[in-house]
Chain A
Amino acid sequence: MRRKHCAISLLWLLLFVSFCLVGLISAGRRTAIKASAASDAPIQLPKVYDDANLLTHEEEQRLEELCARYGKKGKADLVIVTTDGSTGIDCEVYLENMYDELGFGYNQKFGDTVMIIVDMGTREVCIEGYGLAETRVRQSRSDYIRENITPMLSAGRYYDAFCLFTELAAKCMRLRGSLNPDSLLLSPIVQLFVSLAVAAAVVGSMAYHSKGHMTVGSQTYLNRANSNMLAQQDDYIRTTTTRTKRPSSSDSGGGGGHSSGGGTSSGGHSHSTSRGSF
């Protein structure tokens, strides 16, 4: 009886310790963020450049605050740009020029930055990531951000789109590895289900193996001396061939053509890109 109680208490203790650990680490990180935010006081560049006048003055203010807040969380400068396309410059190049000119960066000049531009002239949206953001916000992740805000842009809800951008960009910056922030593997509910299912399978197999089972098969009682193949035929009849057209590699991801990849600004700063129409 005592041994069973000891084992159960040990298991509960293990669980309790793991949860305490989680809590401590998260608390530690929160204080680290606060500390760094206090000591870091770089030249505060404005983050919202609304040249196409899509936002009201109050919305611009609020977006500045959001950029500051989520920028701290994601440890990257978040920059929002809108243009009406009158300059004629390609939106991707436009962002590159801004970066080279103004030198955004959370940790240093020309540092980690996530930039978004909405070009009302060509109706294109482009997201670029510099520094650490080049790895943390690239390919499927930047496509993920862009695809989530494109419906809002198409509906004309620019403010909401930019709010969502700041939130998602910060999430992507924090997440290591290559999973998207909305990946099922990270969801606590899915993890709970998986752990319950695995535990059920393990306990089930233990219960199944506790009793005895048949251990003989079709070969156990075979009298090999008296068993043999009498007749065997494998006759070819015919062949039928069908073909299907291969799905072309250039299929659309989300409304119109898009491309992602990377590039380098004229100032020599490399970045990741994701652009598409809305």
Chain B
Amino acid sequence: MVIHYKCPRCGADMAWDSVHGMLSCESCGHQMRAEDYQTTSHEPEASFGEYASKLQNDLQEYHCQNCGAVLLTDRETAATTCSFCGAGVVLADRLSGTDAPVFVLPFSISKEEAMAAFKKWCKNGMLTPKGFMTANRVKNITGIYVPFWLYDVGGIAEADATATRVRTYTRGDYIYTETSYYHVYRRMRIQYEKIPADASEKMNDAMMDKLEPYHYQDLIPFSLPYLAGFLAERNSYSAEEVFDRARRRAAAYMDQQLRDSISGYSSVTYNTKRTDPACQKAHYTLLPVWMVCYDYKQSEHIFAMNGQTGKIVGTPPLSKGKIAAWFAGISGGLFAAMQLVTLLMGGVFL
């Protein structure tokens, strides 16, 4: 079921405006809140039987309501733009019922702001090549809602350890070392809230992890209008499949907290340590990401920007010339300075 968000005044397609936090129409400038929009659902393209059989295929065939072109998407795409007329469309059936996300974090950064921030980031690097710094070869910049599972994880963390406190003092001709041994036991209940793990096959997990943290106070219950004008993906993995990543992170955090709770000792040796994080809840959420594809020296560099905070992640190219220049400059300058000081001290025996 394809949804177009039509402006009630002029009938043009509306898109989500992150600057004002509303659906806005580019043609007449009308703005309205997402909650106020009444979805006029179009007739389903086919009867229920045909619809069910279509779900078996990898490539789903939808039609743009504006121009009638076929929207070629793969199984995971939940919102996209028509490649012919550019209208923003939302494939509502992929995000409804049991597949519906619980939360969505709307974009706070508009496309222009994202481009400007990216250009600024490109200029900042001290080792970035000159050609890269002008940032005028951005191949495309796309706003995507990436599906995440936000896990509420927690459990009991227990540690049993032997700790020592060492004191040294001198008396007469001897140095005394006094070692006091303690039996330390800690048992904590630790709860973590909304640890994210990306559920999309297409997105690089490591890159998505680095985009954190997202500020969850802006998290709102999901509703379709926020997706208008952006790309959105559906989850490829279920909550159980991705949970292992979140569980490992939670276990590491719990371990860290256990260590931090034992303080004031010279050394700590752990006898047993038990962390057992269990999943309390998993929230299916869409989080905003700006993906920037940059074409530099015939190779593509991909960067991701957090659509709420603006944090940019990616590996920029490093200019070998600049690296050599910095290295030669610092080492040469330091060496010359040290030799100068030695000379002034009279140490250079001429």
Neighbouring A residues of B318 by C-beta, 8 Å: 207, 210
The segment from B57-65, B76-84, B93-101, B186-194 that touches chain A is B186-194
The interface on chain B, measured as residues whose beta carbon lies within 8 A of the other chain's beta carbons, has a size of 81
Could you say which of B331, B333, B338, B349 contacts A171, with CB atoms under 8 Å apart? B349
- CB-defined contacts of B261 to chain A, threshold 8 Å: 229, 232
Taking CB atoms, residues of chain A closer than 8 Å to B327 are 199-200, 203
Which residues of B288-330 are within 8 A (CB) of A?
311-316, 318, 321-323, 325-330
Task: Report A169 CB to chain B, min CB distance, Å.
Answer: 12
Contact of A227 among B130, B188, B210 (CB under 8 A): B188
Task: Judge if B180 is at the interface, Cβ distance under 8 Å.
Answer: yes
* B176, B210, B318, B331, most chain A CB atoms within 10 A: B331
Q: Which of A7, A26, A179, A215 contacts B325 (CB 8 A)?
A: A7
Q: B350 near A237 (CB under 8 angstroms)?
A: no
Which residues from 247 to 267 on chain B have a C-beta closer than 8 Å to any C-beta of chain A?
252-254, 256-257, 260-261
Are B177 and A230 in contact, CB atoms less than 8 angstroms apart?
no
Determine the distance from Cα of A55 to Cα of B17 in the docked complex, in whole angstroms.
Answer: 99
Q: How far is the CB of A83 from chain B (nearest CB, A)?
A: 31
A230 to nearest B CB, angstroms? 4
Contact indicator A15/B188 (Cβ below 8 Å): no
A21 near B340 (CB under 8 angstroms)?
yes
A11 touches B188 (CB 8 A): no
Chain B residues positioned under 8 Å from A226 (CB to CB): 154, 189, 191
Assess whether A1 is interfacial by the CB under 8 Å rule: yes
Residues of B within 8 A of A (CB): 125-128, 130, 152, 154, 156, 162-163, 170, 173-195, 209-213, 252-254, 256-257, 260-261, 311-316, 318, 321-323, 325-340, 342-350
A residues at B contact (CB < 8 Å): 1, 3-4, 7-8, 11, 14-15, 18-19, 21-22, 25-26, 29-30, 171, 174-177, 179, 181, 186, 188, 191-192, 194-196, 198-200, 202-203, 206-207, 210-218, 220-223, 226-246
Given A212-B211, A213-B210, 7 new contacts (CB under 8 A): A175-B347, A191-B338, A195-B330, A196-B331, A206-B326, A236-B181, A241-B177
